Amino acid sequence: MNPEQYVQQKAAASGSSFYYAFLFLPKPRRAAITAFYAFCREVDDVVDDMVDASVAATKLAWWQGEVAKAYAGTPTHPVMQALMPLAAIYGIEQRHLQAVIEGCQMDLEQTRYLDYPNLQRYCHLVAGEVGEVAARIFGQSDPQTTAYAHKLGQALQLTNIIRDVGEDAMRGRIYLPVNELQQFDVKAHEILKRSYSDRFTALMQFQAKRAQSLYDEALALLPAADRRAQKPGLMMASIYRALLSEIERDNFQVLHQRVSLTPLRKLWLAWKVQALGHL
């Protein structure tokens, strides 16, 4: 299996909504975003598949070294071998990749976030930086598009957090800010025990409202000149907003299950953005 086949398999196997947004890209850009996404999956899987925190930390340290070696001209991992020929073309810098690794390291060191600004820092690393790279690959021409990409990344990450509350709790992690848990009188042990309440629903409504506002803010930041190029990001926004609406309609039953959209619905939402040019 060559590096290009490896990253394609890695991206497709994840079943992620991102995959549907990639389908409509021209081949060179699709190759770049697929390689970058495979990199994100590799480092994210280190944390998600973690059995021993020290082993996971060692693996992330290895990735930090691998990224540095790759940018020095000697990549050894198939993901980096696939990515490096495209990195210079699309402005993918070493700092972007190291930031994603730093965000994954936060998952090893931190299982709670005291307040929203603390959570924002995490979202910036694992989603904002990813959004910035994606915007460059899609064909950014206006510097203002970077602000849009960071804001959209934050909205997508908050949607992930809302969707995965129960799944993350099984791993001992609660991303919902501690001071907001206190504000709505929701105890951490209630989430860990998958215990629903009107208080929990109110807390989640608060989170969903914030995420919806971030989508609106992101779309308002996208310059008209880049709307066409940034269609894949708009596809992601459409798919994730539909997911968020589904979770809201389901009254935030996220502690015992992972709410998802069918592949056909994701494809339909992506195609609509491709055809209409907007959400």
Q: What CATH number does the domain containing 179 carry?
A: 1.10.600.10
Q: Above 70 in pLDDT, residue 57?
A: yes
Angle at 153 between CA 49 and CA 78, to 5 degrees: 45
Taking every pair of Cα atoms in the chain, the longest distance, rounded to a whole number of angstroms, is 55
Residues 71 and 188 occupy one common structural domain = no
Residue-wise pLDDT tens digits, 117-173? 999 999 999 999 999 999 999 999 999 999 999 999 999 999 999 999 999 999 889
Residue bearing the bigger pLDDT, 221 or 1:
221
CA gap 34, 27 in Å, rounded: 10
- Is the domain of 48 the same as that of 121? no
157 and 98 in a single domain? The answer is no
Both 103 and 159 in a single domain? Answer: no
C-alpha distance across the termini of the chain, in Å: 38
pLDDT for res 11: 79
Same domain, 75 and 10: yes
pLDDT category at 15 given cuts 50, 70, 90 is low
Hey, what amino acid is at 215? Y
User: Number of folded domains in the chain?
Assistant: 2
pLDDT band for 278, please (50, 70, 90 cuts).
Answer: low
- Asked if the model's pLDDT at residue 279 lies above 60, the reply is no
- Say how far apart CA 121 and CA 135 lie, in whole Å: 20
One domain for residues 31 and 142: no
Last residue of a domain, one of 82, 109, 136: 109
Residue 8: the pLDDT is 86
Domain boundary among 109, 125, 156: 109
Verify that 70 and 137 share a domain, yes or no: no
Residue 234: pLDDT above 60? yes
State the chain's mean pLDDT as an integer.
Answer: 93
Query: Are 215 and 153 within one domain?
Result: yes
For 40-49, the pLDDT digits (tens) are 999 999 988 7
pLDDT recorded at residue 219 = 96
User: Considering the entire predicted model, what is its pTM?
Assistant: 0.92
Q: What is the mean pLDDT of residues 102-114?
A: 93
- 235 with 193, same domain: the answer is yes
The secondary structure element, H or E, covering residue 116 is helix 116-123
pLDDT at 125: 93
Task: Measure the CA–CA gap between 114 and 101, rounded to whole angstroms.
Answer: 22
pLDDT over threshold 90, residue 17: no
Q: Do 176 and 266 belong to one domain?
A: yes
> Which contacts (CB < 8 Å, 24+ apart) does range 267-276 have?
267/20, 267/23, 269/20, 269/235, 269/238, 269/239, 269/242, 270/20, 270/21, 270/23, 270/24, 270/235, 270/238, 270/239, 272/238, 273/231, 273/234, 273/235, 273/238, 274/24, 274/231, 274/235
Domain with 228, as residue range(s), is: 111-278
129 shares its domain with 244: yes
Q: Examine the domain organization and report whether 41 and 162 are in the same domain.
A: no
| Cβ atoms 235, 271 nearer than 8 A | no
pLDDT of residue 277: 63
Q: Last residue of some domain: 89, 109, 129?
A: 109
**pLDDT of 9 over the 90 cut:** no
